[in-house]
Amino acid sequence: GAVVSQHPSRVICKSGTSVKIECRSLDFQATTMFWYRQFPKQSLMLMATSNEGSKATYEQGVEKDKFLINHASLTLSTLTVTSAHPEDSSFYICSAREAGTGRGYTFGSGTRLTVV
Amino acid sequence: DAKTTQPTSMDCAEGRAANLPCNHSTISGNEYVYWYRQIHSQGPQYIIHGLKNNETNEMASLIITEDRKSSTLILPHATLRDTAVYYCIVRVAIGTNAGKSTFGDGTTLTVKP
């Protein structure tokens, strides 16, 4: 079945630095991927839609200059958290779907970001 | 996406069937019902989806009422590994917004020995 690989699984960074998270569709091509954020004991919240070869679409309230998304190929989307602060500490998850399968979207295993 | 309502939590005895309800009274004609689950600190896992007919796969069964305003996910023989948060989502299956899933609070299912 479709597999979405997310890397790294955990990252700790210092406040003010930037962190890049990768989301790869391993055995299929994905023109669209989605990025979610999940705070402790809360549900997933959609942050943005990543479109291959074009600009990402951000949900209301999500700063596009802070959360940079690049979808340069049909199998890779990256989320860069710029100038990270402790309040950006969260669980970041991506999802993608193999076209034509009729199944739901496959989610990555998530990235636990801790900003200290 | 149509709003869904699920019970906050449920318990189930190991080996018994777990029946998780979901209300989606404002579902549109072109919206499907999807179920995912999330085990602690992992990404959500797709379980099953359907439009109006009942569906079954290797993981679960999905029963959708005739008026499509509610559905039930059935795990026929729950195991301890089925303990997770279960999310019911309704959304279109194709088109620009097909993948934009709005996650509610879900149901925390606890399977007990």
Q: How far does the CA of residue B85 sit from the closest CA of chain A (Å)?
A: 10
Partner-chain residue, chosen from B43, B49, B100, that has the shortest CB–CB distance to A109 = B43
Indicate the average pLDDT of chain B. 92
Q: How confident is the model at residue B100 (pLDDT cuts 50, 70, 90)?
A: confident
Give B100's contacts in chain A (Cβ within 8 Å): 34, 46, 49
Per the DSSP assignment, residues forming a β-bridge with A73 are A76
Percent of chain B predicted with pLDDT > 70: 92
Give A34's contacts in chain B (Cβ within 8 Å): 99-101
Q: How confident is the model at residue B2 (pLDDT cuts 50, 70, 90)?
A: low
Q: Residues B6-23: pLDDT tens digits?
A: 999 999 999 999 999 999
Residue A46 is predicted with a pLDDT of: 93
Residue A52 is predicted with a pLDDT of: 87
Contact A104 B49 (CB under 8 A): yes
Q: Cβ(A83)–Cβ(A89) under 8 Å? A: no
Per the DSSP assignment, residues forming a β-bridge with B10 are B109
Low-confidence ranges of chain A (pLDDT < 50): none
For residues B84-99, average pLDDT: 80
Tell me, yes or no, if B45 comes closer than 8 A to chain A by beta carbon.
yes
Give yes or no for residue B103 having a pLDDT over 90.
no
User: Phi/psi at A88 (nearest 5 deg)?
Assistant: -85, -5
Residue A6 is predicted with a pLDDT of: 96
Contact A49 B100 (CB under 8 A): yes
Q: Residues B50-67: pLDDT tens digits?
A: 999 899 999 999 999 999
Is the bond preceding residue A8 a cis peptide, omega within 30 degrees? Answer: yes
Residue B95 is predicted with a pLDDT of: 65
Residue B39 is predicted with a pLDDT of: 94
Give B42's contacts in chain A (Cβ within 8 Å): 109-110
Q: How many CB pairs under 8 A join A and B?
A: 56
Give yes or no for residue B94 having a pLDDT over 90.
no
Residue B81 is predicted with a pLDDT of: 96
Contact A109 B42 (CB under 8 A): yes
Residue A102 is predicted with a pLDDT of: 61
Residue B76 is predicted with a pLDDT of: 97
Taking CA–CA distances from B51, the nearest residue in chain A reads A102
Residue A31 is predicted with a pLDDT of: 85
Give A32's contacts in chain B (Cβ within 8 Å): 99
Closest CA to B59 of B41, B78, B42: B78
* The A67-73 sheet, strands edge to edge: A4-7, A19-25, A76-81, A67-73
Q: How far does the CA of residue A17 sit from the closest CA of chain B (Å)?
A: 24
- Phi-psi region at A105: left, alpha or beta (left = phi > 0; alpha = psi -120 to 50): beta
Indicate the average pLDDT of chain A. 92
Q: How far does the CA of residue A67 sit from the closest CA of chain B (Å)?
A: 18
Pairing mode, strands A111-115 and A10-13 = parallel
